[in-house]
Amino acid sequence: MKAAEISQRETAPITGATAESASQRLVIAFTVSGLLFLLLPGTFLGVWNLIGIAREQTLVTIAPAWIQAHGQAQIFGWVGSFILGIGYYSLTKMKSQRGFPVVSGWLTWWAWTGGVLLRWLGGITGWHWRVLLPLGALLQLIGFLIFWRAVRRHRPAASEVESAAMPAWMMAVVFGTAMLFVVLAAQLVVLGRVALTASVPALPHVLDQQLVVLVVWGVLVPTIWGFNARWLPIFAGFDQANGRELRIACVLVAAGILATFLPWLGISACLLLTAAVLSIDALRVWDAAVQPARLQGISAGFPHFIRWAYAWLVISCLLNALAVVQDRSGGIWGASRHALTVGFVAGMVFAIGPRILPAFCGMRVLWSSRLMTASVVLLEVGCALRVTMEPLAYEHLWSSAWRLLPLSAFIELAAVSVFALNLFATLLQPPAHLSKQTV
C-alpha cells in the first residue's frame, strides 16, 4: 500500500502553488545562466575582439572562431536562455491537466546550457573542436526538442479550449519557435560538415552571415514582436496591436530571409525594412499611449526605452539597405548588425527584462529602478558610438574612429554589468510576499 501511494505521488501532476514554485526555480536557473553567458563568454569576449581589431585596424588578425563564439554566447546563451525560461513559465498560466513539466524543464536547461558552453569552448580553445562543435549543436537541438514536446503536450483543459483563431501575437511566437528549430537543425548539419572538412573551428564567412540573418530575423525579431503584442498594452499602456499588420510583417520577414539565401540582397533589404516599419505601426509603438503605463518598481522611462529600441530596428534596416550598394570592407554591414542585435534586441531585453523577470522569479521587486535607467542609457550611448564609428573606421573614412571603437565596447560592457548586477541583486532578495511577512 505504501509503495502504491509513493508511486501515485511521483506520477501525480504538479499543479497550483507547487507548479508556480517549480516554474520560478526553473526561470531563475535560465536567468542566471543567461546572465553569465552575457557577461563572460559574450560581452567580455566581444570587447576583447574589438580591442584587437582596433589595434590592428583590420578584421584579418582576429580568428573568425572567436567572433562566432561571441555571437553564439550572446544569441543562444543569453537571449535564447531567457526565451526558453519565459516559455516554460508561461505553461503555468495554461490550465492543463498534465501539470507543470518539471523534469522536461530541467532537462532542457542542462542540454541547452551544456550545448552552448561546448560550442563556445570548442571555438575559443580549439580543444577537440571537431567533437565539441557538433556535440554542442546536438545538445542544443535536443534541449529545444524537449521544450517543444513539453509545450505540445501541455494543452489546456477541455473547458478552456476556444474555437477562435490563433491570436496574432501567438502566431508570431510560434513562427519564431519554428524558425528556432530550423536554425538549430541547420547549425547541426553545418557544424558536422565543418568538423569533417574544415581546418579551423569556424563557419565560412558568407554562410555565417546568412545564419545570423536567419536566427536574428527568423527567431528573435518575430518572438519579440509577439511578446510585445501580448504585453505592451498591459505594461506600457499602448493601444492593442493590429493583428493583420503583424501577420503581414512576419510574412515579409520570411520572404526577406529567403531572399537573403538566394542571394537577392537588395530585395531582402527592402522587404525587411518594410516589415520593420509595418511592425511599428501594428504594435502602436510610436502612437500616444491610451492608458498610463504600469511603472511600479521600475524606471519611469520604460515606455521610451521600448520606442528607442524600435528606432534602432529602423536604423538597422536603413544601414542594411545602404550596405548593399556602398559597403566595401564590412563596416556598414557590421554597423547594421550591431544596431539590430544590440540596439533593438538587447535594448528590448534591457527594457522588458527588469519588468517581467523579477515577477516570474518569485514575484520579486526590482532592486533598483535607477540602475535600470543607467543600464539602458549606457547601452544606447555605447551602441550609438559603435554604429557611428564602425563604418567610418572599417571603410577608411576617418582614421581616428579606430580609437573610439574600443570606447564604445567598454561603455556597452558597463551597461551589461549594471544590468546583470541589478538582476542578480533582485534574485538575492526574498520574494515580495515574504518581505511583507517579515515587515
Instruction: Tally Cβ neighbours within 10 Å of residue 189.
Output: 12
Whole-number Å distance between alpha carbons of 194 and 200:
8
* Cell numbers describing residue 163: 474555437
Whole-number Å distance between alpha carbons of 65 and 256:
27
DSSP string covering 408-427, please? HHHHHHHHHHHHHHHHHHHH
Can you tell me the mean pLDDT for 154-162? 52
Least confident range from 29-33, 110-114, 151-155, 238-242: namely 151-155
Asked if the model's pLDDT at residue 85 lies above 70, the reply is yes
Give the residue ranges of DSSP H helices in 154-204: 168-197
Q: Which residue has the cell 563564439?
A: 69
Asked if the model's pLDDT at residue 255 lies above 80, the reply is yes
Can you tell me the mean pLDDT for 432-438? 51
Instruction: Tally Cβ neighbours within 10 Å of residue 4.
Output: 8
Please report the pLDDT score of residue 6 as a whole number. 35
How is residue 346 annotated by DSSP? I
Question: pLDDT-based confidence at 9, cuts 50/70/90?
Answer: very low
Please report the pLDDT score of residue 45 as a whole number. 81
Please report the pLDDT score of residue 2 as a whole number. 47
Can you tell me the mean pLDDT for 202-227? 95
Please report the pLDDT score of residue 94 as a whole number. 64
Please report the pLDDT score of residue 431 as a whole number. 76
Can you tell me the mean pLDDT for 303-315? 98
pTM given for the model? 0.92
Amino acid at 37: F
Mean pLDDT of the chain: 89
Contact 25, 102 (CB under 8 A): no
- Please enumerate in sequence order all residues whose Cβ is within 8 A of that of 9, keeping only pairs 6 or more positions apart, or say none: none
Q: What is the pLDDT of residues 335-386, one digit of tens each?
A: 999 999 999 999 999 999 999 999 888 889 999 999 999 999 999 999 999 9
Please report the pLDDT score of residue 18 as a whole number. 74
* Cell numbers describing residue 109: 536547461
Asked if the model's pLDDT at residue 156 lies above 90, the reply is no
The greatest distance separating any two alpha carbons of the chain, rounded to the nearest whole angstrom, comes to 81
Contact 292, 360 (CB under 8 A): no
Question: pLDDT-based confidence at 100, cuts 50/70/90?
Answer: confident
In percent, the amount of the chain with pLDDT more than 70 equals 90
Q: Which residue has better confidence, 133 or 57?
A: 133
Question: pLDDT-based confidence at 23, cuts 50/70/90?
Answer: confident
Please report the pLDDT score of residue 407 as a whole number. 94
Please report the pLDDT score of residue 161 as a whole number. 44
Amino acid at 436: K
* Cell numbers describing residue 299: 524606471
Residue 228 CA, chain-centre distance (Å), reads 13
Task: From 71, 160, 148, select the one nearest 116 (Cα to Cα).
Answer: 71
Please report the pLDDT score of residue 96 as a whole number. 55
Asked if the model's pLDDT at residue 435 lies above 90, the reply is no
Please report the pLDDT score of residue 57 as a whole number. 72
Q: Helix, strand, or coil here: 127? A: coil
